[in-house]
Structure 1
Amino acid sequence: MLLRRLRPALAALAAFAPLAMGMVCPGKLIVSVSPTDAAVITTPSFAIQVVLGAGANPATLEATLNGVPLALAGGPTTFVANLDPGPPLLDDNELRIAVQATDGRTGARAVRAFVYGPPKARARRITSESELITGPLGHSRIGDWLLENDVARFVVQDVAQRDLHSVGQFGGNLIDAELVGRPGRDAFFEVQPVLNVETVVNAQTVEIVNDGQDGTAAIVRTCGPDDLNDYINASSQLIELGLDLPNFLATADDLDYDVEACTEYRLEPGNPYVGMETTVTNHHPDELPHFVGYFINGMGTLEQYVRTGTVPMGLGEPLVTPATEVLGYFGYDNSEGVDYGLVPILVPDTGGTSSSSFTTSGVSFMLHSQLLIFVLGADAPAAFVIPANGSKSFLGYFSVGDGNPANAMAMEAEVEGVPVGRLEGCVTIGGAPAPGARVAVGNLGNVTGHGVRIRTMRALYVTDENGCYGSDIAAGTWGVAAAREGAPYQGGGTQPVYNSVTVPAGGTAVQNIALPATGRVHVEITDESGAPVPARVSVLGRVVFTTSTDERYGISDPTPDPMYVTTVQSPRDTRTGMFYDQSDRLLPGLASLAYAGASGVAEFDLEPGTYQLVVSRGDEYSVFRQSLTTVAGSTTNVSAQIARVLDTTGFVSSDYHVHMLNSPDSRVSLPTRALSFAAEGVDNLIATDHDAITDLSPTIAALGLSPFLASTIGEEITTFDYGHFNAYPQGPDPSRVSNGSTDWGGAAPPGMDFPSFGNYGLTPAQVEAAALAKPQNAGLETVVQINHIGSHFSPLRIDTGVEPPQSFVPDPTLFRLNPSVANFFHPFKALELWNGNNNTHQNQFLNDRIGIWMNLLNQGFATTAIADTDTHTVRNLDSAGARTWTPSSTDDPALLVRAEIGQAVKSGRAVGGQGVYVQTRLVEGQDVADLGLGGSTLVTATDGSVDLEIEVQAPTWAPYDRIEIYRNAATTVAGTVGGTPTAYGAVPTQVLTLGAGDFVRNTVTVHPSVPGAERYETSKLISLTGLAQDEWVVVVVKGTIGTSLPMFPVYPSNLDVANNLTLANLTTLSPSETGVRALGFTNALYVDVDGNGVFDPPGVQLAP
């Protein structure tokens, strides 16, 4: 019975078997299929081939690939389909073939599974930390979107997020990039597509358009509405500058349009660059002109350059470029070995000949397909016009490379279709390979005053570990020159040799460059105990170019970098360099500069010659001086000893305003920043990056600097228009890329962050409240100070000479502030009265700002004055400047209590100085007011008399000769804005001078075994009698020109070049020289005369 039931099924199976096996009897219908089963295809293009047997009917041949019909050509027996990358190809593919026999009764089928595996680009969401791009500025997170091929990797940030940090306010933008095989080097921040200068894409959706399986470009698309970029307010600046641009303001000033935009990020297989095409859709019934482009902020330890075509420009940040063909960056310091480039592709119907760019504070705006000079100079309308109810796109390419700026130029040539050849060569110094040398390439031409030299830069290279360079470059004849810091130029002169090289299209040109042998200096530094100590090594040298009209006038570097000087706003106001950025160059008189770390060792190359070497460690240490001669091919060894000569027991010095890697306008790496401050003798560095939280402590520990330097977390809350505010100490918020910035712009729903929707920036009072309300700041005694206070009081037109202080800003909406707020003055706990390192900064403090503080003291606002540097750079020594000492329970930086920093500032316990350290006490019997830890700043003197004790210390290289005493001081108007007094000086109540014998300046030997380990000391007691009302008391101590020497070279700014052209001049300065003098001050101590236990302010005292 069972066999009878199975027989029909077996018969059916037997009839189907030949079909299932692709066979008919008696011959094969399908002879062969290629690719074979389980084959791996390794080429982008390949052929599918089907060979039919004699019994097959070619007209019935059918083929599908992954379910998609496939057209086969040929016959009668061999059929082929040539496949290029694209649909329907996948990683794992299924090819199905079917054909009927000529008799129509039978047929055959074949199935082949094969892998399509040529090098591809891929797009996917990041799900593992192992997929992240890392490095000094790598900030990709799980949930972001990865584009990668076998050459490069790029990350697009996830959408629907807000984090106020530089141009990275919203998500959906390109944030990280690296070459495959070179991990841990990311040093780039972000590119943000711009829709209309002040508006950007606030991406809310993201999708993978193509994951790359088909072998074509991997594509990620992000989309969202236009939204206000809080970080940029171009229109307010144009109005403040008085520029008459009605067309620009009418179309681009904080205006919300009914538009949305999508950016497609496309990565082709094998390319080290990604295409960024932004399509803007206009939902208006009328066409819309928009100023589109990109905000781009490298932010890392990168040097910037712009290839402008015919305009001479080199490395640096030109304010405005007349044309921008390439905007690029390349790494140095801890970011060596990586570069980036942005190339805009002209939009055809804009009528533009080039894009252009505007750069300030490290952030560039690239105006796509239009020249900024015509917009700013002639109020030209936007060239990019979006049709009514239509769309329009703009395209750019972003590249990553191995550290050669020429890589971006090669990308430009490739995407623009420019014929190229290869330029390569090697650089040697004294016959040995010269890694890290820079090779400049460009058009040779005559430059007035310089003869023939590279006139316009075409490319720049950084030599590899073997001293070699090379890449594709546009074919043509180029000048090629080389330089490396500390080495003579080719030929031994003070200017480079420009070698003419012709690069043939499709060929190779070789240019080797031999630089002469150089000298080397090895310095070992110890303190008074013989232990190694961090310090700065300054090398003094003669001025190389002594003609005052030469742009290199005053430079003491024996091989000064040729500069390109152009005019943007005022004559010759833009300086860029051929080999190096000129914004952070050595000051006149300095031939070289180096820092010794925890080992006390500094070593560096220095051109053969005669110099003076000076070792210093800031205000509290002596200096070491020695003549120095370097010889080509040999090392000069120096043993230096310095000593602590000031006694600041119970107080720690801090710089309250320090920028580094995470600020858009600072290119200083974390290790270099830590090293420089340890070498300048600052106990505590308060990291205050713009809208970012930076913890420098791990870096300090890794460098072995913890015994010498502490770091406190802070932040500079950076409004665009109405001032900057430091908040410290703070805690981090690791969940955010900024690590927890304060959102001063005020969050709003997507597409609605506009004043027209009632969304405004935070008021100053709200800024402080937002910083203090952060959960991570609980218990840290966080305090908020107004920075460089002119940038706050002046734009808001705050007059502190009226009671109470009042703002008189005519139109708050210009600054995106709520017009219903009647008064924007807020009594912050601290004022940064003095920020900087040179005479200009000291004069701002003494002439324009001190009176603002004293107006507030006179009104009873117990505001603490702060001195710091606001440093953004290193080589120009703006990190060597003013500092503030506050009381501390420990003198060991490693044991610093951060909360004590905030407590001290809140209570007014601080003294500031540059070169001089001053303390005061008010004494009435057993009652004492001082600035120390745990005491009181108020003394009771009901009999109307109290003693003022003044203690001054300074190293002997920082002489002082004047003491000023301010008591309830009268102030004088020093500046107005729109008729409103906003800057004030002050009139000292009493002046003591060294020359008049009003006080004695003693010289004290602190460590007899160390040459020069001495200090100046002054102890002065002044009895204040006849007091009829409560008083505050402030003391200022300073050196004056004509009496005291400048503090060169510890503080080398402002030296008169004309009087100091030789090394002999630099080492024999007189009191009549210009330069920075010693300056110090105290915060206020208070006298309670009426005995009510509080200070009763006298009210504003305006001098006639």
Structure 2
Amino acid sequence: MSEKKLPRKNFTGKTLLLITTLTLMPLLPFLISKCGTKTEMEIKDEELAKAPELEESINQIPKPKSITIKKLDEKDIENLKPTTPEEGSAFKAKPGDILVETEKIKVIIQQPSREIGVSTYGGNIIDADIKRDDGTFRDVVGEENWFWFLGHTLKPEKVGKWKENVIAATGKLDLLDFINANGLAETVFKNYIPNFELPFKVDEERPIKATKYFVFSDGNYVKIIDVACNEGKEEIPFFFFADIIDSGGDVEFFIPSSELKGYGYKSPLPTGLSVFKTDFIAFVSEKLDSSYGIFPETENNVSLIASGVAVIAYGMLEGDGLNSLLSIARGTSSKFITIKPSECLKNEKYFIIGNGSASSLTDEFFRIKSRKEKTEVYQVQGKVSISDLQVLPSKPRIAVFDKQNKLITTAGGDIYGNFKLVLPAGEYKFIAEIKEMPPSEPKIISVPSVQDVQLQIGKPSKIIISALEKKISGEEINIPAKVSFLCKGECPKKICIKGCEILSTSFRDYVYDPLPDGVQEVVFLKDGKTQEISIAPGSYKIVVSRGMEYSRYETEVNLQPGEEVRIKAYLHRVANSDGWLSADTHVHAVNSPDSPVSLIDRVITFAGEGVDIIISTDHDWLTDYEPAIEMVGLKDFLSSLVGQEITTFSYGHFNAYPLKLDKKEPSDGALDWAEKYDRYQKYGIKESEKEKFRFLRSLHPREIFKNAHLMKPENFARNIVQVNHPRSGGMGYFDYVLLDTLKLTTAIDPCIHRIFPPAGTCGGAEIVGGDTGLFIPLQILKDMANLERFDAIEVYNSYYEIPIVMNDWFTFLNHGVHITGVGVSDTHQKFQVHPGIGRTFVWVGKGNDLPSKFREDIQVKNTFINNLADGKVFISNGIILEDFKLCGARGNAEECAEMGWSNMKNLTSNFKLKIKVKSADWVKFDTLKIFINTRKTAAKSKKPVEKWPTPYYATSITPIPQEIEIQGNRFGWLVFETEIPLTPPAEDFWVVAVVSCENSCEPENPMFPVIVDKRVKPMLITNPIYIDQNGDGKFTPPPPTYAEESSQAPHYEDHQKNGKGIAPKSKRGKTDENNILEKIIKSLHIH
């Protein structure tokens, strides 16, 4: 059959164009992305900032043998096979970002973007890994970002290809919203140095054109060249090159030049300052076999590290790190640079990517140096052995020191003990360590004459253990649990971080998440099934636990090298919280820069502590724990909600939950608290005043609360906004805004916090008429439906700040405002800050109190959130509330009111308070306090009330021991129940109860090691019962008054005699000059 042709006259040129367009339209996105990429990604010379000798610096780098540059789409990202945050990864590439692949590495550079966090605008390396045989992409990179003028960074206008092996990000400077140096100076610094002033204005525009060049090599590194050009007519003083680095995934800091001489960054110095001379800074993940580091070309660099974020000031070292920091802050450093008009400057550094060891990074750096200096480097190999073991209990690390005992690097061995690394010629000392055992004896060798090293480590013992819950029926089920090894006498493996010839931190980070003295090891059993634990031989008391509701199992062992001991630990839920779901509403993990804990590790720790609901609240990032819970097999033990810690730098932190997560959005949909647009039109700012208000773009707290409330998932009736650690000095909302809790006014200048001033003019209270407007008006606070209010306050975040926040909370109650008090851990670690302590218990009703029920039933989730907002909640670190109600007459009948704003009742006489509490027998309690309309609690601006509020009623109590025997296993608990007649005030009133341990818990916490802080004592805090005594349907208690200047004497004799409070006095007070810098640096930790 021949093809039939249509007459040409039926098709005009326009018709053909139309048909062609319609045919190709579905393919246009593909054609644009594939065919149009070259032009779109190319950058022209005139778009760049160029410094003298830029070309020479680029040409020094050997080009890769092969290089591919492409814009990523969804399929490309999937094909990368990236590891996930569940495993501890920091991968965050989105479609449109640029992938550069050479024969050795894969690197992703972010396109121009906007996200709130350590890095704001894109144009940086965000993900990187070596090329692997299995094709996976094991990224732990956070982000390396500029930090110029103490708060400016690159805002790229374009990111693309300039040369065959060069990607450039070019644009102007803009504020890094994450850091507010002016706010820090005006609030924290001036608290300790009253006349302190920064030497220059941070929040002003500078006429700098800037470009960041990424030069790809034939090795495992990228050379980064930063260029700044002064396009203005005036000199620009006080300049220095600096970077701010988000550490990224589940990593350890490695900084051999620090006082720790290796791993970690929390300083052992008395000042607590993490300020170091920095030759280089590296990040190591043994878990993912991935590492990376920044290796500067410059010498005499100094770093400041806080909360997992590092700042490197290149070439700014003068004397030691501390003096360098002070000279920068004061503007007296001789290292400052003045950029002349039309002058361009550059800074160079190497971004090196490794396989999980520090030596894989230093190997590459030694090769780079040897090429430049025309010297030789040599490969050294070796093996770490343990007696007759073919496979080691864990991977060894081998610390390498020079003749002056300076740590050069650490090599990572495989599970068989084999290792290799590259070193220049010289004499070196090698020492090996595994995490379970003390280090080996040192071996000294000369390179290159000796290139093989054999090291021997002692043989560990082994515990083979399982944990089971023994039901009353006799049924046994495996349960998640925690195993603590308490040393009897000195611990066999000693951890030394100062004053030793060889510091423990030369091998791994023992300072970020240290175990308490006398504890050799803590191991979580993810499901309670049989698990092997290797440990140094010695004598131990082994404690197996599952949080506050369970009994604990204890046994003692004396382990010999190579000995194996089998343990089956039986636990029983002796203090069951029937009808309540326990939750931690403030939790961090790997998506927070200061929490190097994988999501899998995080859910294992929470299940092991017996928490029912984990609420993710990473810093300005939304995290979903459900995939990790499912991966580990914990769906019967733990459920979760998605939330965010809205982390403003200088005016407080606020949690919001639940929130709607969106993987397509920056930071997975987190609220951006610094607006993306200028606010001139919104506030009617005149053209002539635009410059004055140019940088006032942070959201007012009321705007934050409203926007966070609007981010609730569609299947929830509401969500919660919570004020975090309100009195934690440099992180606390109430402290930051200088709140007067009686007047509900603030004294701080909003412009300091980059907030547009409600009064329309910048200035403190003395300038704008007494109130700078940074708090919430009383009428809004009283309106439970108003989106501009907050719903909850962390009463228990730090155990030591409970009294201060209790005073604030009671003041709100006396204003007639319902705010739910919650208990949280704010945990960033696995051990030191205890998961689920404090803990919030929310009433959901019997039968609904299972994590699996919570996950499956949206009605239970809504009940949980509604009741949390309503105050059907108690706070605890060990004591369980079984009953709490206030009964009284209503007419001729008796009625009882329980916790919760919606449970408020009109009762008039014959009041009786009923309370019943219980605990496991290893949790002690002996004191009951009742607070009713406690009025002398209000704080003046700058004067938080630190003493405990005065109770209405207080008494010593004696709980009754209970015991059950199940198949030969005995389990005990304590119970106390009482009914107290009350004669409350004639007005509307609220009632809060506190049960604690004040006398029988000396000298140490009986809950240790279930709670690792030996100073923490058991405590339970209820939420209020509300009584509308006058029956008008409103809650109008007597208003609060200011606290007395002198200490408030308690009402009961034991307290007066022994001088013991429910919690120790808060760690606040007068500061001498030696502690000024310690206080300042602690204020930088972002919690």
- TM-score scaled by structure 1? 0.78
Aligned match of 1:231: 178
Per-residue CA deviations over 1:825-847 (Å, capped at 9, x if unaligned) read 134444443445xxxx32310x2
Tell me, in whole angstroms, the C-alpha distance in 2 between the residues paired with 1:424 and 1:245: 57
Aligned match of 2:1034: 1094
Aligned match of 1:503: 447
For 1:808, the aligned partner's letter is A
Aligned match of 1:397: 350
Indicate the SS of the match to 1:241.
Answer: helix
Q: Is the 8 A contact 1:488 1:518 kept in 2?
A: no
Indicate the SS of the match to 2:302.
Answer: strand
For 1:848, the aligned partner's letter is I
Indicate the SS of the match to 1:878.
Answer: coil
Aligned match of 1:80: none
Task: Name whichever structure is richer in helix by fraction.
Answer: 2
Per-residue CA deviations over 1:403-436 (Å, capped at 9, x if unaligned) read 1111222233233346422232111122434351
Aligned match of 1:560: 494
Per-residue CA deviations over 1:746-803 (Å, capped at 9, x if unaligned) read 2136999997415331111111111112374663521111001113345334445423
Is the deviation greater in 235-244 or in 685-694? 235-244
Tell me, in whole angstroms, the C-alpha distance in 2 between the residues paired with 1:609 and 1:575: 19
Aligned match of 1:697: 626
- Alpha-carbon distance, 1:905 to partner: 2.1
Mark the CA change 1:246 to 1:952 in structure 2 (over 3 Å): closer, same or farther: closer
Aligned match of 1:307: 256
Indicate the SS of the match to 2:669.
Answer: coil
* 1:138 equivalenced with 2:80 (yes/no): no
Q: Is the 8 A contact 2:315 2:335 kept in 1?
A: no
Equivalent residue in structure 2 for 1:426, among 375, 383, 386: 383
Equivalent residue in structure 2 for 1:670, among 573, 589, 599: 599
Indicate the SS of the match to 1:939.
Answer: coil
Tell me, in whole angstroms, the C-alpha distance in 2 between the residues paired with 1:605 and 1:266: 45
Tell me, in whole angstroms, the C-alpha distance in 2 between the residues paired with 1:226 and 1:965: 57
Equivalent residue in structure 2 for 1:163, among 115, 132, 135: 115
- Alpha-carbon distance, 1:1076 to partner: 2.5
Q: Is the 8 A contact 1:972 1:984 kept in 2?
A: no
Alignment of 1:491-890 (within 5 A): 497-504=441-448, 509-528=451-470, 529-544=475-490, 556=491, 558-564=492-498, 578-748=507-677, 756-774=693-711, 776=713, 779=716, 781-790=718-727, 791-803=731-743, 805-809=744-748, 811-821=749-759, 822-826=772-776, 827=781, 828-836=789-797, 841-845=798-802, 847-879=803-835, 881-889=837-845, 890=848
Aligned match of 2:77: 129
Aligned match of 1:288: 236
Mark the CA change 1:1084 to 1:1006 in structure 2 (over 3 Å): closer, same or farther: farther
Indicate the SS of the match to 1:204.
Answer: strand
Equivalent residue in structure 1 for 2:895, among 903, 907, 927: 927
Tell me, in whole angstroms, the C-alpha distance in 2 between the residues paired with 1:754 and 1:627: 70
Is the deviation greater in 223-232 or in 124-133? 124-133
Q: Is the 8 A contact 1:922 1:939 kept in 2?
A: no
Tell me, in whole angstroms, the C-alpha distance in 2 between the residues paired with 1:737 and 1:467: 42
Tell me, in whole angstroms, the C-alpha distance in 2 between the residues paired with 1:1026 and 1:873: 44
Indicate the SS of the match to 1:770.
Answer: helix
Q: Is the 8 A contact 1:227 1:753 kept in 2?
A: no
Larger CA Rg, structure 1 vs 2? 1
Consecutive unaligned residues in structure 2, runs of 5 or more: 1-57, 84-88, 268-272, 681-688, 760-771, 782-788, 855-859, 1045-1087
Indicate the SS of the match to 2:156.
Answer: coil
For 2:886, the aligned partner's letter is L
Mark the CA change 1:162 to 1:1043 in structure 2 (over 3 Å): closer, same or farther: closer
Tell me, in whole angstroms, the C-alpha distance in 2 between the residues paired with 1:616 and 1:719: 37
Q: Is the 8 A contact 2:463 2:532 kept in 1?
A: yes
Tell me, in whole angstroms, the C-alpha distance in 2 between the residues paired with 1:176 and 1:317: 26
* 1:276 equivalenced with 2:224 (yes/no): yes
For 2:975, the aligned partner's letter is E
Q: Is the 8 A contact 1:848 1:985 kept in 2?
A: yes
For 2:547, the aligned partner's letter is G
Indicate the SS of the match to 2:969.
Answer: coil
Tell me, in whole angstroms, the C-alpha distance in 2 between the residues paired with 1:581 and 1:750: 47
For 1:466, the aligned partner's letter is Y
Q: Is the 8 A contact 2:616 2:644 kept in 1?
A: yes
For 1:279, the aligned partner's letter is V
* 1:1035 equivalenced with 2:993 (yes/no): yes
Indicate the SS of the match to 1:584.
Answer: coil
- Alpha-carbon distance, 1:599 to partner: 4.2
Tell me, in whole angstroms, the C-alpha distance in 2 between the residues paired with 1:732 and 1:989: 45
- Alpha-carbon distance, 1:251 to partner: 2.9
Q: Is the 8 A contact 2:926 2:999 kept in 1?
A: no
- Alpha-carbon distance, 1:486 to partner: 1.8
Tell me, in whole angstroms, the C-alpha distance in 2 between the residues paired with 1:317 and 1:409: 23
Q: Is the 8 A contact 2:64 2:216 kept in 1?
A: no
* 1:483 equivalenced with 2:436 (yes/no): no
For 2:801, the aligned partner's letter is Q
Is the deviation greater in 292-301 or in 649-658? 292-301
Equivalent residue in structure 2 for 1:180, among 111, 127, 131: 131
* 1:339 equivalenced with 2:276 (yes/no): no
Q: Is the 8 A contact 1:126 1:146 kept in 2?
A: yes
Per-residue CA deviations over 1:904-926 (Å, capped at 9, x if unaligned) read 22111110001101241122345
Mark the CA change 1:711 to 1:444 in structure 2 (over 3 Å): closer, same or farther: farther
For 1:460, the aligned partner's letter is T
Aligned match of 1:1047: 1006
Equivalent residue in structure 1 for 2:862, among 895, 899, 920: 899
- Alpha-carbon distance, 1:224 to partner: 1.6
Equivalent residue in structure 2 for 1:1025, among 976, 979, 983: 983
Consecutive unaligned residues in structure 1, runs of 5 or more: 1-85, 88-116, 213-217, 347-352, 446-454, 491-496, 545-555, 567-573, 995-999, 1056-1074
Q: Is the 8 A contact 2:582 2:839 kept in 1?
A: yes
Q: Is the 8 A contact 1:133 1:178 kept in 2?
A: no
Mark the CA change 1:1008 to 1:992 in structure 2 (over 3 Å): closer, same or farther: farther
Tell me, in whole angstroms, the C-alpha distance in 1 between the residues paired with 2:226 and 2:367: 21
Q: Is the 8 A contact 1:621 1:646 kept in 2?
A: yes
Task: Name whichever structure is richer in strand by fraction.
Answer: 1
Q: Is the 8 A contact 2:357 2:410 kept in 1?
A: yes
Is the deviation greater in 892-901 or in 642-651? 892-901
Is the deviation greater in 1083-1092 or in 424-433? 424-433
Q: Is the 8 A contact 1:852 1:985 kept in 2?
A: no
Q: Is the 8 A contact 1:124 1:208 kept in 2?
A: no
Per-residue CA deviations over 1:444-481 (Å, capped at 9, x if unaligned) read 55xxxxxxxxx432101221133111121233222211
Alignment of 1:18-97 (within 5 A): none
Per-residue CA deviations over 1:1042-1096 (Å, capped at 9, x if unaligned) read 45672343444444xxxxxxxxxxxxxxxxxxx3321001000111111112321
Equivalent residue in structure 1 for 2:336, among 377, 383, 404: 383
Tell me, in whole angstroms, the C-alpha distance in 2 between the residues paired with 1:475 and 1:883: 56
For 2:141, the aligned partner's letter is F
- Alpha-carbon distance, 1:343 to partner: 0.8
Tell me, in whole angstroms, the C-alpha distance in 2 between the residues paired with 1:1042 and 1:247: 47
Aligned match of 2:1067: none
For 2:589, the aligned partner's letter is M
Indicate the SS of the match to 1:857.
Answer: helix
* 1:458 equivalenced with 2:390 (yes/no): no
Aligned-pair Cα RMSD in Å: 2.8
- TM-score scaled by structure 2? 0.79
Equivalent residue in structure 2 for 1:147, among 100, 104, 119: 100
What count of residue pairs does the alignment treat as equivalent? 901
Indicate the SS of the match to 1:525.
Answer: strand
Indicate the SS of the match to 1:286.
Answer: coil
Tell me, in whole angstroms, the C-alpha distance in 1 between the residues paired with 2:515 and 2:323: 36
Tell me, in whole angstroms, the C-alpha distance in 1 between the residues paired with 2:215 and 2:79: 19
Per-residue CA deviations over 1:848-892 (Å, capped at 9, x if unaligned) read 111110001000110111111100001325225210100124121
Tell me, in whole angstroms, the C-alpha distance in 2 between the residues paired with 1:579 and 1:596: 23
Which structure is richer in relative contact order (CA contacts within 8 A, separation 6 or more)? Answer: 2
Equivalent residue in structure 2 for 1:356, among 302, 305, 329: 302
Tell me, in whole angstroms, the C-alpha distance in 1 between the residues paired with 2:989 and 2:550: 35
